[in-house]
Structure formats: C-alpha cells, structure tokens
Structure 1
Amino acid sequence: MEIKLRDEYIKLGQALKAAGLVESGVEAKDVIIEGLVKVNGEVEYQRGKKLHDGDIVTFDGEEIQIKA
C-alpha cells in the first residue's frame, strides 16, 4: 500500500489513519504506544514521528510505503 505525500512529510498517526489501518487518532496512539508499529524495521513509539519519501511503516501484517 502506498501513501502519497501532499507535503514534505506525514506524521505516523496520520499515515495509519490514511491507510485505513486504524479508525481514529486515539487508536493510532494506542497501537503505537503498545509497540505494534515499525518504521523502517524499528519499533516506533512516537505518534508524531515525521515520515518522509521512502519510509516504510509496518503494522498488523500490512506495509505502507511513503512516496513523494
């Protein structure tokens, strides 16, 4: 799955919502805090982590590629 950037970056919580992997910002925060989300292979605990072109997010068996 791909997310096209409209700006320079997208925040991790927003990317999960945009991809339809979570229902809300609250759910995004919960799964991130629980350590269930990886960015470029590393567990990420910051909902506000800025994602740029080329970053890869994995969650719940799904992969999101961030594209400019």
Structure 2
Amino acid sequence: MSQTISVELDSQPIELCKLLKVANLVGGGGEAKVVISEGYVAVNGEIEYQKRKKIYNNDVIEFNSDFIEVICHAPVIETPIKKRQQPTAASPKKNVKSKTSEKSAAKVGRRKKISF
C-alpha cells in the first residue's frame, strides 16, 4: 500500500540519500546509497542513480511504492565550487623525481604502515 510522506525542510537542497534517511524509508545511509545505486528510487518520475542528487522544494521522490513530497520555503543555498590553484610564472611546476635507494628497493614486497 502506497503512502505519501511530506517532508518539510529548513533549508534546501538536501541530498537524496539523506532524504531517504530523514523520511525513515531506509535503515541508514549505507542502505540508502545501495537502493539508489540499484535503481529503486525515482525523482520526479525518472529513475535516479546519483546518491547525492540535490533535491529541492516540490520534488517528488518515489521509493518502494511510497512517495516523498519535499516542502521548503527557504531560499536555495548553494555551496561555492572550489577552483584549483593554477601555477603562476613566479611559482612554476617543479619536476620532482622519486629517489629509490637500494635498501627500499629490496623491501618492495613488504607492506608499509601508513598513518594519516
């Protein structure tokens, strides 16, 4: 049996996977991403595969015979896109060659612990 769920948001847009979680149609974010990538979710009548698809006011999402209607009266908030910094004439690209010593060449087959 299908039902229509109205979700009122304080700000827009919201990512599709987060909307499925907010509407309690999935158990968690991982499940939301799987059902979207498998093609079980439609946005405004078309199958959507983008997990982070931005959803806006009056969009209708269909999943598992349920419908979600998004309601938001706040203006759209877009995040700025970061641009890559281009090298300037003052700071040209440097050609960096990797140096391998005989000692490290002998350790090729060993695992190296990397911490972040």
Q: Does TM, normalized by the shorter one, top 0.5?
A: yes
Over the matched positions of the two proteins, sequence identity in percent amounts to 43
State the partner residue of 2:76: none
Gaps of 5+ in 1: none
* Higher RCO structure (Cα 8 Å, ≥6 apart): 1
Q: So what's the TM-score if we normalise by structure 1?
A: 0.96
The superposition leaves residues 29-64 of structure 1 with CA deviations (integer Å, 9 ceiling, x where unpaired) of: 000010000000000001100100000000001000
Out of 59, 65, 86, the residue aligned to residue 61 of structure 1 is 65
Q: Which structure has more strand as a fraction of its residues?
A: 1
State the partner residue of 1:51: 55
RMSD: 0.6
Code of the aligned partner of 2:54: K
Q: Which structure has more helix as a fraction of its residues?
A: 1
Q: Which runs of 4+ in 1 moved over 6 A?
A: none
Gaps of 5+ in 2: 73-116
Out of 11, 17, 23, the residue aligned to residue 21 of structure 2 is 17
Larger radius of gyration: 2
How many pairs align? Answer: 68
